[in-house]
Amino acid sequence: MSDTRFDAIVIGSGIAGLRASIEMARGGARLAILTKDGPTDSSSDKAQGGLAAVLSDDDEVSLHYEDTLRAGDGLCHEAAVRVLVEEGPALALELIEWGARFDHEGARLALGREGAHSKRRILHAHGDSTGREIVRALVEKVRQTPGIVLLPRMFSIDLILAGGRCAGLLALDERTDTPVALSAPALVLATGGVGQVYAETTNPPQATGDGMVMAYRAGAEMMDMEFVQFHPTALCLPGVPRFLLSEAMRGEGGRLLNASGERFMVRVDERAELAPRDVVARGIVAEMRRSGHACVYLDMTARDAAFVRERFPNIAATCARYGLDIARDRVPVAPCAHYIMGGVKTDLWGRTSIPGLYAAGEAACTGVHGANRLASNSLLEGLVFGARAGRAVLGDRPVAIAADVAAGGAESVRSIDRASSAAVVAGLRRLMSAEAGILRNAAGLARAVRGILDLEGGLGERPVSREGVEARNLLFAGRLIAESALRREESRGSHYREDFPGPEPGRGRHSIIAPGAPAPDLPRVEVHDFI
């Protein structure tokens, strides 16, 4: 490609990356958005449930704030939560101004309710395709905004550092299968999560933790990597990919039943099906263990059939392909890896510990979600902190520093070859699901760490490929999760230790992973501090 110098580079085209890009371009920056595949291939695009924001007269920002803190189980950064709930409504209305078509009931916005929310405050679009509608509107806005270049099929390999700050990016142009070095004084990581580290996940194939691992390898601090949220209700059929059944289904009256047709969640929590996700997921696992059954069932039959199919058209169509009518049948479900609360440690403006490097969305960790994300706060987080990261880049006015890296530098990057990467990743996913899933203990987490090290030790060196780099990134993301979970000897939010079933007294402490120096060889992780 001929043009490789920009004012800023954004990696990722989910809600956080798109919103950051628009903010910077409106301030006069010239920037590039890099995506591994197409501009709509992201977790944001797949989000069903909705966008949480206080937009009705019978709701209050203070209630959204309290709900978020309660779900976060004593670990939320309260200042981040206040930013989220206070700035969210105006940005949601801005989306509407930009053409996002949310569902209405007459002239009013239709607001749904989900688990652990005290009010109906969830914006949704086309019933259960909210993320897709938001991404559509933002991509259209990006294409209308001068100064933004969309670069699809650009696979990010490593950050370029110069003078102690981020100066650009080494990438693989998959359109031509050639390496390229891009330079910019500011780089925003909006690369999403790490769901593909588990055998069963709702995340798209692109969620391989690339941004987090690149940042750590460059020397950035990481935070709270042990906190992985498992969505309670993913479609559970033999040989069928896990498909998310939105939390909004339970918000609209869906009940969880065991194999005997009993509502078991009423015995687990007074909020029953509307308890926080970590509570519901553990309740389902406990019931599956008790009954010896491979799933439980989501039952919407108490609601009007026409309403159910109209409210959840995408879910209804997907289930129908497998012979299930969500309005008439009990749908088999089980928990599935969904979202990581941890990530690259940032301040409230997306700044990381490396000058010139910013992060937003699921790849970042402001502490806003604490130990367990409140339903539908993820799209809101991408919107709010994506915009903030864009404003921070404009306000910081970072200065470009020449980096002594040529495009040919990718030739020195080594990874496993395509043939062996699939086997390595399959082994990692089995290991993480068995030992670092919903229920954890010291022996299992230690086995996970040893197993990952064994997998790493068996890798051969080959010329760089996307499959190989993704495999290495997944291995290291798995190690960050497992070692952080092993160090946290308590149960809090989504992190449940069978050998430490209660929380430590008082408010929770954040786990900080701080590399001593840039680490291209991926040294052993040590969670060295709690704050």
Best CA proximity match to 183, nearest among 157, 214, 159 = 159
Which residues carry out catalysis?
277
Structural domains present in the chain? 8-194+341-396 (3.50.50.60), 234-336 (3.90.700.10), 413-504 (1.20.58.100)
> Are the C-beta atoms of residues 13 and 36 closer than 8 Å to each other?
no
pLDDT of 65 over the 70 cut: yes
Alpha helix segments (H runs only) across 98-247: 130-144, 210-218
- How much of the chain is in helix, strand and coil states, percent to nearest 5? 40, 20, 40
pLDDT of 38 over the 90 cut: no
Query: What integer pLDDT is reported at residue 231 of this predicted model?
Result: 92
List, for residues 118-146, the tens digit of each pLDDT value: 999 999 998 778 889 999 999 999 999 99
pLDDT of 260 over the 70 cut: yes
User: How does residue 404 score in pLDDT terms, banded at 50, 70 and 90?
Assistant: low
Cα separation, 349 vs 438, in Å, equals 31
Q: Which two tokens stand for residue 161?
A: 């550092």
Query: What integer pLDDT is reported at residue 406 of this predicted model?
Result: 46
Best CA proximity match to 389, nearest among 348, 427, 429, 433 = 348
Mean pLDDT of 286-292: 94
Helix (H) or strand (E) holding 156: strand 154-162
Query: What integer pLDDT is reported at residue 409 of this predicted model?
Result: 43
Taking CA atoms, 388 is separated from 180, 187, 348, 359, 480, in Å, by 29, 14, 8, 10, 27
Based on its alpha-carbon atoms, the radius of gyration of the chain, rounded to whole angstroms, reads 22
Cα separation, 140 vs 100, in Å, equals 10
Lowest mean pLDDT among 151-155, 468-472, 516-520: 516-520
List, for residues 405-464, the tens digit of each pLDDT value: 544 444 445 556 666 788 899 999 999 999 999 999 999 999 999 999 999 876 666 667
More confident: 352 or 421: 352
Query: What integer pLDDT is reported at residue 351 of this predicted model?
Result: 98
Share of the chain above pLDDT 70, in %: 91
Cα separation, 190 vs 32, in Å, equals 13
Alpha helix segments (H runs only) across 103-157: 130-144
User: How does residue 85 score in pLDDT terms, banded at 50, 70 and 90?
Assistant: very high
Give me the phi and psi of 339, to 5 degrees please. -155, 145
Share of the chain above pLDDT 90, in %: 77
pLDDT of 76 over the 50 cut: yes
pLDDT of 238 over the 60 cut: yes
Mean pLDDT of the chain, nearest integer: 90
Query: What integer pLDDT is reported at residue 377 of this predicted model?
Result: 96
The β-bridge relationship of strands 165-173 and 439-440 is unpaired
Mean pLDDT of 266-270: 95
Cα separation, 478 vs 336, in Å, equals 16
Q: Identify the burial level of 328 via C-beta atoms within 10 angstroms of its C-beta, where 0-12 means exposed, 13-18 middle and 19 or more buried.
A: exposed
Cα separation, 447 vs 461, in Å, equals 25
pLDDT of 494 over the 50 cut: yes
User: How does residue 12 score in pLDDT terms, banded at 50, 70 and 90?
Assistant: very high
Best CA proximity match to 159, nearest among 213, 104, 204 = 213
pTM over 0.75: yes
User: How does residue 115 score in pLDDT terms, banded at 50, 70 and 90?
Assistant: confident
